[in-house]
Structure formats: structure tokens, C-alpha cells
Copies of this chain bind each other. A is one copy, B any other.
Amino acid sequence: MGTYNMETPISPPYKVGIPPKQKLWKEFSSTLKETFFADDPLRSFKDQSKSRKLILGLRAVFPILDWARSYDLAKLKGDLIAGLTIASLCIPQDIGYSKLANLDPQYGLYSSFVPPLVYAFMGSSRDIAIGPVAVVSLLLGTMLQEEIDPVSNAYEYRRLAFTATLFAGITQATLGILRLGFLIDFLSHAAIVGFMGGAAITIALQQLKGFLGIKKFTKNADIVSVMKSVFSSAHHGWNWPTILIGSSFLVFLLVAKYIGKKNKKLFWVSAIAPLISVILSTFFVYITRADKEGVQIVRHIEKGINSPSLDQIYFSGEYLLKGARIGIVAGMVALTEAVAIGRTFAAMKDYQIDGNKEMVALGVMNIAGSMTSCYVATGSFSRSAVNFMAGCQTAVSNIVMSIVVLLTLLFITPLFEYTPNAILSAIIISAVISLIDYDAAILIWKIDKFDFVACMGAFLGVVFVSVEIGLLVAVSISFAKLLLQVTRPRTALLGKIPRTNVYRNISQYPEATKVPGVLIIRVDSAIYFSNSNYIRERLLRWLTDEDEQLKAASLPEIQFLVVEMSPVTDIDTSGIHALEDLHKSLQKKSVQLVLANPGPVVIDKLYASKLANLIGEDRIFLTVADAIQNCSPKFVDDV
């Protein structure tokens, strides 16, 4: 920073620039472009021949056409290992998660067969692992059972599940095609952390049923009902052999997880631990016939691949609407999870993910899933991380996983007959535990208290009421925060920083000094109808407060109010009216309104509304320093 040269003769102030007038259509189209095509998706299509455009278009829809050409044996090796690893992880998880959705175990496996295949052709993430996930399974299960009882009306329940899956897919694809992907940004990071943590605890609590071998269990998912169920069945409902098997394998799984976390090279220990647990415990139960002691087992998984389910989807009647509502909610949540995963790993490997294209891929995959007996699939946090660490190179790892699941469905499902439910519960508990992100919550507390409120609101909403209410709380608090920002923007008193001609917030730079007779206030927001009255009143209050202080100290009164407008990026008609009213009020008090550094949009509107002429063009400056130099109060001679 060059020190300010006091000897420089006062030069005429630099004129505030008025940007060249834009054509209405151009202005409109550029706003439209920034809103919906911010990522400029057609960039590569520019100046290309027609046939080339077709090829580029196909490649845009099916990224596989793009990367398959440079696919080689080295990549295949990585994908093969990663694919096998995530398959070993997903098979027991799928069986468990389908229970969260109140569906038979094979539906979880189905959902790990078709959707990953579709995604491999259309998706742009190289690291995501597709399949059923805990949170979406729980959400779907909770919302579906409110409409249809999954036990007494299993067939109708399944039909509604496919209907919801179809609409989840349609929602996702539509958001992508209409380029409304930014809508999922409205679920803030903090809200997601809270929501995920709450869902993890809810899911873990639900597992107490299988884990303790309780037969009569509440249908509600909130912590109060669940704990009541658990304790009321403590005397006669708990099955001790089940608890023994469950807890020993849970310890095994948690130790394996810990090892994988401590030593990144041993990640495969935690990855194959679930499958090993299933194999060992199944063998153990088969040998000891512990199922006769009351240890609940999986019993039967339908053999064979997915059957078509298009004819089971409700295309009319009341369940069409209900399915649509459930599908939209589940689809949005699934989308949020998948996009977050895609972005995280893309940033790690430094490649670009097109959010909207990704949504179309996920949407098509779920639409295809709904027609082949699958329920909502998305990217799984835990399996994607394993996929990444196992060295996956492309979406081929999903194809490998899909083939393994296919083989499982065709040949080895009967082997799961004696698998104890307690093991599936243990696997789910050890999987969802990592969704509880203490560190993130602590960081959120440190950075932003309001975000923490949103985070805890979502968490408590999920734990004490339901996943839906938790979501609603999170979204509401996030919106309230945005509205608060546009309703009550900050204003700051500026002072001159010593040895410079820079003016900054006095509360940030206590050494900054006020200029006698001049009050400099910065307005920290666009001036819109929602805050224009507040800003006008707040500026007048700054003036009153300052004048009171000056009067108390017998100092000369304020003669100039300099409003620093650098942060004022836009102003609307209400804002213009507020400034006009402010100007009038100040005139009555013999205070001159001075504007510093209005941006292009603001200066344009100041002239359009003739307010610039009313205030005086010679009262609008490029910088605060310019304003101060040209607005010296009359009683000060030596400034």
C-alpha cells in the first residue's frame, strides 16, 4: 500500500463510470444464462461441424463413450479390485437396508444390480458406488408405511415403493433437464450434517430390534417410542443368544473399521469384514441350529434376477399422488447425497462433475430401476470411499459390482438362509456410525452459530420426531437465515486507516479515525424491498447516535453523510424510494447525502430514476477518499 501523499494537489475527482446501456434482451438472456447455464454446458459445441456436434452430444449423454476409448488393462485391474471389494461390502448391506425400507431382502440386491449398470453408461463420477443407502431406505420405509401396512399388504406396499421410485427418478431427471440442479443447494451443509447424524442414530436404534432379538417392536422411529419398546421388552423379550452373536460380531466390525481408519493401506480389512461376519455367523448358526434357541434368521431370499415391475406401478388412483409425493422427497434427498459424494471425490482427483448431467443419469437409473423391481438407489458414502481407496479408475467398478450381485442372485442366495438378523443389524450399525460427524458439528459451532442451530434442529427433529420433520426443520431454518440476511443487512461505521487513504470498519480496525463533520457508513447488502425501510431508518439512527455523542462532547455537528456503496450490488424500486426519502430527511436536518462507489447496476438505476440528479452528480464519487476530499465541512480548514 502506497502511503497517501499529503502534498499532492487536490485533483478533480475521478468520474463514476456509467456502464454502456445493455439491450433489454441481452440483459435478460445473460441473467437467464447465469441462472440456468452457469456452467456453460454448450461451450465445447461451439464452432463444430454437424456430425461432430452429434458425436459430442452422444458423448455428453453417455460419458462412457468418452472414457471407454482410452480404457486399458491397468485401469481394468484397478476397477476389478475395487468392484469386488464394494460388492463384498454391498451384499450384506443391501440385505439389511431393504429391511429399513420394509422390503424383502432380495429387493436390496436387485437395486444393486440394475441401477449401477445404467449409471456406468451415463454418470460422470468415476468414484461413486451406486446402490441402496441407509438414509434413503429409512426415509422411504417411514413414508411408505404411513400409507400402506408393509406386513398385511405387502404387495400393495411394494407397488407403492416402485411408484415412489419412478417419481424419484422423474424428479431427479427433470431437475437435471430443466437445469434446476441449484435447488438442492438449498439444503445447507450444516443441515445435511445434522440430518445425517440424526438419521444414523435413528437407524442404529431401529437395529436394536434385530440386535436384541425383540419380536414386538414399535413402528415409530423416534427415540422415545423406540426406547420404550426396548425397555418394556427387557424382561422377557430380549434373546440372549442373539445378543451374544450380535455384539461379538459388532465388536469385530468396529475393530476392523478402526484398523481401516488408522492405516489407510488396510482399508480392505474394514471392507471385507461384513462379508466375513456373514459367512462365519451363518456357518455358526447352521452348525449349532441356534435358530431353534430363538435367534432370528433371514430364512429365505428369492433366487433369480429382477422381474419386470412396470405393470405394478400405480399410474392412477390415490396412490399415484401419494407415490409421487414420497418419490419427490426421497428423490431430492438421494440427489443431495449423490451430488455431495460426486463433488467430494471429483475435487480430490481434480476432475469436473456436471451437476445437472449427473442428475439426469441418476434419474434415468431410478426410472429404469422402478421398472425392474428396484427401489430408490443413489451414491453411498461408505462404499464410495472404499471404492476410491481400493483404486477404482472408472465407473467399470460399478459394472463389476453389478455382475457379482447378479451371480449372487442367480446362485448363492440360498446360502443366506441361516444368516442371523443380528449380524445384519451389527453391519448396519457399524456402517451408519460414520455418518455421525462430530468434528463437522464442532467446526460448524466454531464457524457459524446460526448454522449450528440449523444442524441441531435437523438432528433433533430426526431423532425425536421423524426424518420428514427433521428435513422440514433443516430447510426452514436455512431459509429463515437467507431471509434474515436480506431483511436485516449489516451496516458499518467507517474510519480512515492511519497512513493510508483507505476507509474501513472501525469495529474491525479500532485504530481507524473518524473524519470531523463527516459520518461514513457502509451498507453491506443489495438494497431491496425487504430491507429498504430498515436501511433508511438504520442510517438515520447512525446519524442521530453520532450527533448525540458529538453534542455531549461539544463537537461540531455532522454535515455530510457518506454512504459507501461498494457492497450494494443491486437496488430495486423500493430501494430507490428509500434513498429518495433518506435524501429528503437529511435535507431537513441540513446534512448532505454523499454516495461513494456505486456499482454498475446501481449507478444505472440512480440515473434511470433521476435520483442521481436529485442528490447531485457531484455528490457521487469513485471512492470514500474522493468523497472526503471533496466534501470537507465548512468549519474545517486544514483537512
Chain A residues with a Cβ under 8 A of chain B? 1-5, 8, 11, 13-14, 17-19, 24, 27-28, 34-35, 38-40, 182, 185-191, 343, 347, 350, 355, 443-444, 446-451, 478, 481-490, 492, 497, 499-502, 504-505, 507-510, 524-526, 528-534, 537-538, 541, 566-567, 569-574, 576-577, 581, 584-585, 588, 597, 599-601, 603, 605, 608-609, 622-623, 625-626, 629
A176 to B: closest C-beta gap in Å: 15
| 24 A-B interface contacts by CB (under 8 A) | A1-B11, A2-B5, A2-B8, A2-B625, A3-B11, A5-B8, A28-B449, A35-B488, A38-B537, A38-B541, A39-B541, A40-B541, A185-B531, A188-B530, A188-B572, A447-B608, A448-B573, A478-B530, A482-B528, A485-B486, A497-B622, A502-B623, A524-B567, A566-B566
A446 near B608 (CB under 8 angstroms)? Answer: yes
Q: Which B residues are CB-close (under 8 A) to A187? A: 529
Given contacts A1-B625, A481-B528, A533-B185, contact A584 B38 (CB under 8 A): no
A299 to B: closest C-beta gap in Å: 45
Complex Cα gap A541–B478 (Å): 27
Residue in B closest to A623 when the chains form the complex, CB atoms: B502
Partner of A502, one of B4, B497, B622: B622
A35 near B528 (CB under 8 angstroms)? Answer: no
Partner of A508, one of B524, B588, B603, B609: B603
Q: Which B residues are CB-close (under 8 A) to A488? A: 34-35, 38, 182
B581 near A448 (CB under 8 angstroms)? Answer: no
Partner of A497, one of B14, B185, B355, B541: B14
Q: Which B residues are CB-close (under 8 A) to A531? A: 185
Given contacts A508-B599, A626-B1, A629-B1, contact A188 B605 (CB under 8 A): no
A509 near B39 (CB under 8 angstroms)? Answer: no
Partner of A447, one of B490, B510, B532, B573: B573
Given contacts A487-B185, A508-B600, contact A585 B350 (CB under 8 A): yes
B17 near A538 (CB under 8 angstroms)? Answer: no
Given contacts A573-B190, A609-B446, contact A182 B19 (CB under 8 A): no
A507 near B600 (CB under 8 angstroms)? Answer: yes
Complex Cα gap A574–B62 (Å): 31
Given contacts A500-B14, A509-B17, A528-B482, contact A572 B447 (CB under 8 A): yes
Partner of A451, one of B492, B524, B573, B601: B573
Partner of A504, one of B35, B486, B622: B622
Q: Which B residues are CB-close (under 8 A) to A567? A: 524, 566-567, 569
Q: Which B residues are CB-close (under 8 A) to A509? A: 17
Partner of A443, one of B27, B487, B500, B609: B609
Complex Cα gap A11–B499 (Å): 11
Q: Which B residues are CB-close (under 8 A) to A577? A: 189
Q: Which B residues are CB-close (under 8 A) to A529? A: 185-191, 478
Residue in B closest to A184 when the chains form the complex, CB atoms: B533
Complex Cα gap A483–B499 (Å): 41
Complex Cα gap A510–B19 (Å): 8
Q: Which B residues are CB-close (under 8 A) to A510? A: 17
Known: A188-B572, A447-B576, A508-B603. 19 other contacts (CB 8 A): A1-B622, A2-B5, A2-B11, A24-B449, A34-B488, A40-B541, A185-B534, A190-B574, A350-B588, A446-B608, A447-B573, A448-B572, A448-B573, A448-B605, A489-B569, A505-B599, A524-B599, A566-B566, A566-B567
A559 to B: closest C-beta gap in Å: 18
A-B pairs, 6 with minimum CB distance: A188-B529, A567-B567, A524-B569, A508-B600, A189-B574, A17-B509
A569 near B39 (CB under 8 angstroms)? Answer: no
Q: Which B residues are CB-close (under 8 A) to A449? A: 24, 27-28
Complex Cα gap A450–B529 (Å): 12
Given contacts A1-B14, A599-B508, A626-B1, contact A38 B534 (CB under 8 A): yes
A186 to B: closest C-beta gap in Å: 6
B451 near A572 (CB under 8 angstroms)? Answer: yes
Q: Which B residues are CB-close (under 8 A) to A485? A: 486, 526, 528, 570
Residue with the greatest number of chain B CB neighbours at <10 A, chosen from A13, A600, A603: A600
Q: Which B residues are CB-close (under 8 A) to A450? A: 572
A341 to B: closest C-beta gap in Å: 14
A406 to B: closest C-beta gap in Å: 36
A508 to B: closest C-beta gap in Å: 4
Q: Which B residues are CB-close (under 8 A) to A532? A: 185
Q: Which B residues are CB-close (under 8 A) to A603? A: 508
A448 to B: closest C-beta gap in Å: 5
Complex Cα gap A343–B533 (Å): 10
A2 near B501 (CB under 8 angstroms)? Answer: yes
A519 to B: closest C-beta gap in Å: 17
A595 to B: closest C-beta gap in Å: 14
Q: Which B residues are CB-close (under 8 A) to A447? A: 572-573, 576, 605, 608-609
Partner of A13, one of B1, B8, B528: B1
Complex Cα gap A601–B343 (Å): 27
Complex Cα gap A538–B34 (Å): 9
Residue in B closest to A24 when the chains form the complex, CB atoms: B449
Complex Cα gap A483–B186 (Å): 10
Residue in B closest to A627 when the chains form the complex, CB atoms: B1
A480 to B: closest C-beta gap in Å: 11
A615 to B: closest C-beta gap in Å: 15
Complex Cα gap A347–B485 (Å): 26
